[in-house]
Amino acid sequence: MLMNDADSNSAHVHYSPTAKYSIGVRHEYFRDPKVNVTSFQMNNLIKRWNKKNEQANFYVKSGVGVARDDGEYDPAAYTGIALDWETRRYFTSYENRFFWADETEQFAMHKARVGIAPYVGDYGDLHTWLMLEAHYDAGEEDTFHVTPLVRFFKGNTLLEAGYNLDDGVMFNFVQRF
């Protein structure tokens, strides 16, 4: 999983022994301040609601690792939740993340999305979503970004691209095996 936005770049490789949890390694680079974080991450599916025409999920995502800033190393930890609800036409999500790395970096991040599918495809088709993301980071400098984006999803591949209103490109790629 590769995630890139105005604040950071990250790569996350994980394995799901069951549908209830995954374990993996995540590396993230924060642009301001320039900090690299490498961590072990665990994602736990707390609840999934499957109904005839909709689905919703509730996850807890947590990690521990090390942060490097100008050659200095600090222990790092984070936790947060992720919630989503979708039909074949509409999508909403919210996630947060509380990050701590001793003297290096501390922040609270909140992200929400709404989306609509311009068409409803059949199973196996290319699915397209038009979305709007609001992203707020409460840290040393409070930052707020709004990003219109398009999501393409087919089979095990997801691709997202957008451009936020503060001149930042967002690009995400997920490949499931």
pLDDT at position 10, please? 95
Nearest to 95 by CA among 3, 159, 29: 3
Whether the bond into 33 is cis, omega within 30 of 0: yes
CA gap 112, 58 in Å, rounded: 14
pLDDT at position 33, please? 79
pLDDT at position 134, please? 95
pLDDT at position 140, please? 61
> CB of 15 within 8 A of CB of 43?
no
> CB of 16 within 8 A of CB of 3?
no
CATH number for 137: 2.40.128.140
pLDDT at position 167, please? 73
pLDDT at position 17, please? 95
pLDDT tens per residue across all 177 residues of the chain: 899 887 889 999 999 999 999 999 999 998 877 899 999 999 999 999 999 999 999 999 999 999 999 888 999 999 999 999 999 999 999 999 999 998 778 899 999 999 999 999 998 999 999 999 999 988 767 788 899 999 999 999 999 999 987 778 899 999 988
CA gap 72, 61 in Å, rounded: 26
pLDDT at position 93, please? 99
- The domain tally of the chain equals 1
Domain coverage including residue 117: 2-175
pLDDT at position 137, please? 87
What's the chain look like in SS3?
CEEECCCEEEEEEEEEEECCEEEEEEEEEECCCCEEEEEEEEEEEEEEEECCCCEEEEEEEEEEEEEEECCEEEEEEEEEEEEEEECCCEEEEEEEEEEEECCCEEEEEEEEEEEECCCCCCCCCCEEEEEEEEEEEECCCCEEEEEEEEEEEECCEEEEEEEECCCEEEEEEEECC
pLDDT at position 55, please? 97
